[in-house]
Amino acid sequence: MNKEKKRRERRDIGAALRRWGKILENNIYSFRYMWHGSKGYFFASVANAVINGLIAPLVLLLNRRLYNMLGSDRPMFLNALYIIAGIAAVTVVSWLWNLLSSTYIMPKLTEQLHMHVQTDLFEKARMIELEMYDDTEFYNDFILAMQYADAYATGTVNNFTNLMSNLIGFSGIVALLAYIDSGTMLVMVASAVISMLIGTKKQKINLQMNEKHAPIMRRGSYVNRLFMLPDYAKELRLTDISECIFRDYEKTISEHIGVTRRYKTKDALLGALSTLNSIGVYIAVVIMTLYKFAVLGTVSIGDFSVIVNANISVGSRLGSLVGSFSNLPAQSDQIDRVRALMDYKPSYRGGTLPAPHLESLELKNVSFSYFEGGEVLHDVSMKISRGEKIAVVGYNGAGKSTLIKLIMRLYDPKSGCILLNGVDAREYETESYRGRIGAVFQDYRIFAATVAENVLGDRYDDSKEGTVLEALHRATFDDKLAELEGGINTMLTREFDEKGTNLSGGEEQKIAIARVFAGDYDLIIMDEPSAALDPMAEYALNKQIAAFAEDKTVIFISHRLSTTRHADRIYMFDSGRVVECGSHDELMRQNGRYAEMFTAQAENYIRGKC
């Protein structure tokens, strides 16, 4: 039994050492990052810590001398004034520095540091493979990392400097108390140990509560978005789905309350224990000091004032010191999550070769499945040559949009490969490869930016006005553009500008299509490019696309099979497989799935159902 107990103790000690080793490693990592991001923030924080840490023991020391002088038989008035002036000077200097620091220095440096961290995190977020968003555990960690970003930016330095400030103040006061009365000091140190243990336990409980809250808060945020975004406004008003959403939201709130109550009850009990500890040490110190002053006469009036005031100050310092120290494990866990995102390496392989102009694009036995899901594409093979116009058709869920994402390397195949000019696409530098492709997605997005910025993005400046206007003309956006008071400088959406313009679905789709017209791409991908357009607008747009893409390779997905008649080759997908391939006439002669779909749609058009 004794041997087993010793083994457990050794394991516990080893685990604790590894834990604190990890805490030290994470904080060093964070310090290096912060040092690189803003040296000024570090120096200003240290200056705050030193100045604020020295104030309390210095004022107590001056007060002790003042009270001892006033308690003597013949107090020296002039010397007392000097001490009072010294106390006033220390207080004023401290106040001026804190005012300057909090009003001018720290806000500017803090914003710089936050910007540095957020920019790095946004860059990392752009690198995450889309399939990782389907991994619930990863996505929860990702959300937590983004939430912890601001705390990560300043939290490590702030916690360290708070620890430094309180340690300086606490050490100065304890040194003064040890000089005056070592017994009082020992009582306060014992209280400090108890407070530290309680604080560490409270931090652990709060961290566990935050982890339990993360998936619950994500569900709550989803409901908030449903009722905030205009995308869902019509459905919420015209269907009864809101009742179902309300029930789910009530369940979410109930779960949140349950988790909070469970952990906050433990936190409250520990808080009560901490308060009893603080009250107990205060009463004990006052009684001890009063006895030594009034009965034994071993402490002076100045010593008595220092001990009583220090008791209050030490309680505050102890709380802050213990809080800063107890924050280290929680801070380390936060750093760990942000660090995991900062150090994240995409699993897809990007090469170093610059992507050449497209001569051929080939898929060889490509299969793909989403995270923890069944196969979406199975053994797909197809070859596309430069200048060909390819149509991809099939029923919903056949894998068409997934195919496009694989071609663009938003995902990588689980098996098989994609070849550009006979070379595995993974050998090419990712941004260079994607730069050869222009795409309009079915779920395109319009940003809260100007028309020009939505078309060209960060590449836009006044010299490119002609490019934007030409792209909008090709996208048949001329009539709407003429109505916009600010022209291509009109702000889209009213997210940040109440004078912004909200476009119709068809108009937004034309903006998305103009993005492709504005670029110099070898391969153009159109995923339902005319879904939001009426037949006449679709006809005009198809003519523009045909003229623009005459010498380019085009892949388009469309449920309106009228657009497939002029394709060089049509791939019919069903359940993730290519079941038919050929030109429109060839597939109609085969009288297979494509012919069945085309005929049914043509009949619906004739009957006025489409």
Strands in 372-471 per DSSP E: 375-385, 389-394, 415-420, 423-424, 437-440
Question: Of 526, 543, 546, 525, which Cα lies nearest the Cα of 535?
Answer: 543
Range with lowest mean pLDDT among 40-54, 354-368, 567-581: 40-54
> Rounded to whole angstroms, what are the CA distances from 592 to 238, 325, 570, 572, 574?
39, 72, 13, 10, 12
Residues 6+ apart with CB under 8 A from 323: 162, 199
Determine the Cα–Cα distance for residues 312 and 315; give it in Å rounded to an integer.
5
Residue 477 gets the label, from left (phi > 0), alpha (psi -120 to 50) or beta, of alpha
- In tens, the pLDDT along 316-350 reads 677 677 777 767 777 787 788 888 778 777 766 67
Determine the Cα–Cα distance for residues 92 and 545; give it in Å rounded to an integer.
73
Determine the Cα–Cα distance for residues 98 and 123; give it in Å rounded to an integer.
35
> Rounded to whole angstroms, what are the CA distances from 437 to 356, 407, 410, 440, 522?
12, 9, 12, 10, 6
- In tens, the pLDDT along 448-500 reads 888 888 888 766 677 788 888 988 888 888 888 888 888 888 888 877 777 78
**H or E stretch at 200:** helix 182-228
Position 313 pLDDT exceeds 80 = no
**CB-based contact 511:454 (threshold 8 Å):** yes
Residues 6+ apart with CB under 8 A from 291: none
Residues 6+ apart with CB under 8 A from 296: none
Helix axes 301-342, 39-70, angle to 10 degrees: 170
Question: Of 421, 378, 392, which Cα lies nearest the Cα of 569?
Answer: 392
Position 354 pLDDT exceeds 70 = yes
Tell me the CB-side half-sphere exposure of residue 54, using CA atoms within 13 A.
10
Specify the fold of 360-446+503-606: Rossmann fold (3.40.50)
What band does 175 get if pLDDT is binned at 50, 70 and 90? confident
Position 538 pLDDT exceeds 70 = no
**CB-based contact 488:451 (threshold 8 Å):** yes
Pairing of strands 360-369, 375-385: antiparallel
Supply 37's token pair: 């991001």
pLDDT of residue 151: 67
Position 520 pLDDT exceeds 60 = yes
User: What are the two backbone dihedrals, phi and then psi, of residue 554, each rounded to the nearest 5 degrees?
Assistant: -130, 130
Average confidence (pLDDT) over 503-511: 84
> Rounded to whole angstroms, what are the CA distances from 47 to 31, 161, 252?
16, 9, 45
Q: pTM above 0.85?
A: no
Supply 75's token pair: 């107090």
Determine the Cα–Cα distance for residues 181 and 187; give it in Å rounded to an integer.
11
**Average pLDDT score, the chain:** 80
What band does 361 get if pLDDT is binned at 50, 70 and 90? very high
Average confidence (pLDDT) over 365-391: 87
Give the distance from CA 472 to its chain's centroid.
34
Alpha-carbon radius of gyration of the chain: 35
CATH architecture of the domain covering 2-342: Up-down Bundle (1.20)
Determine the Cα–Cα distance for residues 508 and 529; give it in Å rounded to an integer.
11
The yes-or-no answer to whether 2-342 and 360-446+503-606 have a common fold is: no
pLDDT of residue 540: 67
Give the distance from CA 82 to its chain's centroid.
55
What is the percent of the chain where pLDDT is above 90?
10
What band does 202 get if pLDDT is binned at 50, 70 and 90? confident
What band does 358 get if pLDDT is binned at 50, 70 and 90? very high
Residues 6+ apart with CB under 8 A from 191: 277, 278, 280, 281, 318
Strand partners, 384: 361
Q: Where are the domains of the chain?
A: 2-342, 360-446+503-606
Range with lowest mean pLDDT among 149-163, 230-244, 246-260, 558-572: 230-244
- Give the long-range contacts of residues 451-455, CB within 8 A, separation 24 or more: 451/481, 451/484, 451/487, 451/488, 451/489, 451/490, 451/492, 451/511, 452/488, 452/489, 454/492, 454/511, 454/515, 455/488, 455/511, 455/514, 455/515, 455/518
What band does 5 get if pLDDT is binned at 50, 70 and 90? low
What band does 230 get if pLDDT is binned at 50, 70 and 90? low
Range with lowest mean pLDDT among 134-148, 545-559, 592-606: 134-148
> Rounded to whole angstroms, what are the CA distances from 506 to 12, 125, 445?
65, 30, 12
Determine the Cα–Cα distance for residues 59 and 53; give it in Å rounded to an integer.
11
Supply 7's token pair: 């083994």
